[in-house]
Amino acid sequence: DAGVIQSPRHEVTEMGQEVTLRCKPISGHNSLFWYRQTMMRGLELLIYFNNNVPIDDSGMPEDRFSAKMPNASFSTLKIQPSEPRDSAVYFCASSLGQVNQPQHFGDGTRLSIL
Amino acid sequence: DQQVKQNSPSLSVQEGRISILNCDYTNSMFDYFLWYKKYPAEGPTFLISISSIKDKNEDGRFTVFLNKSAKHLSLHIVPSQPGDSAVYFCAARNSGTYKYIFGTGTRLKVLA
């Protein structure tokens, strides 16, 4: 079975540019999570979707960050405008609802903002 | 405030010996715990979980122990293999919520 697929794997762009990260969750999973990993703060939850609906976006750092899930098989995380402090590895994860099921992670997007 | 703590950033163990990774939590409402393994340039991979109704769960070489009174869990790997060298994260949540809280990870190095 295909796991969670993220693209691109690496993104290098200049400050001020728009960045879009993409995620395809595991088929049949109805919960999707976006995380950011940094040395300073570890793995932080940015936003959680259940059945394509954003449930909790309290982890989104500021208005420059937005996320969408137009259907069950696709989600995007957008940063506009990007800043150097947004440089991090961004992970997408999916799971089967709210029962005690583990989250399955993609391989991440390493984002560098110059 | 770090609700899930992994106080050892790194650990080195000889191949064939036991690796013990520790995790402490502060929130007594947590009742479901997981361990993830992460290789460089890959996402975390689910390893093993334990519910608070148990104090031990075993899967092959991996065993997780939960001490609720001490708010402590540990992952035992026996015997350790060089392929086990990775960063290990523990995570916890209250089953009434969706949000997992992750520790900061312990880097395990298994020496051949």
- The pair of structure tokens assigned to A95 is 């799971």
Q: Give the nearest partner residue to A42 out of B34, B95, B102, using CB atoms.
A: B102
Residue A39 binned pLDDT confidence (cut-offs 50, 70, 90) = confident
Interface-testing mutation among B49, B52, B99, with chain A (most A C-beta atoms within 10 A): B99
Q: Give the nearest partner residue to B98 out of A4, A98, A104, using CB atoms.
A: A98
Residue B1 binned pLDDT confidence (cut-offs 50, 70, 90) = low
What are phi and psi for residue A49, nearest 5 degrees? -115, 140
On the question of pLDDT at A111 being above 90, the answer is: yes
Q: B50 near B66, Cβ under 8 Å?
A: yes
- The pair of structure tokens assigned to B73 is 């869990």
On the question of pLDDT at A98 being above 70, the answer is: no
Average pLDDT of chain B is: 94
Q: CB count, 10 Å around CB of A29?
A: 18
- The pair of structure tokens assigned to B109 is 């190095």
Beta carbons of A50 and B99 less than 8 Å apart? no
Alpha-carbon gap: A101 to the closest alpha carbon of chain B (Å) = 9
Contacts of A9-14 with CB under 8 Å at 24 or more apart are A9/A107, A9/A108, A9/A109, A9/A110, A10/A109, A10/A110, A10/A112, A11/A109, A11/A110, A11/A111, A11/A112, A12/A112, A12/A114, A13/A82, A13/A111, A13/A112, A13/A113, A13/A114, A14/A113, A14/A114
Predicted pLDDT of residue B2:
76
Q: Give the nearest partner residue to A102 out of B34, B98, B99, using CB atoms.
A: B34
- Give B17-56 pLDDT, tens digit per residue: 999 999 999 999 999 999 999 999 899 999 999 999 999 9
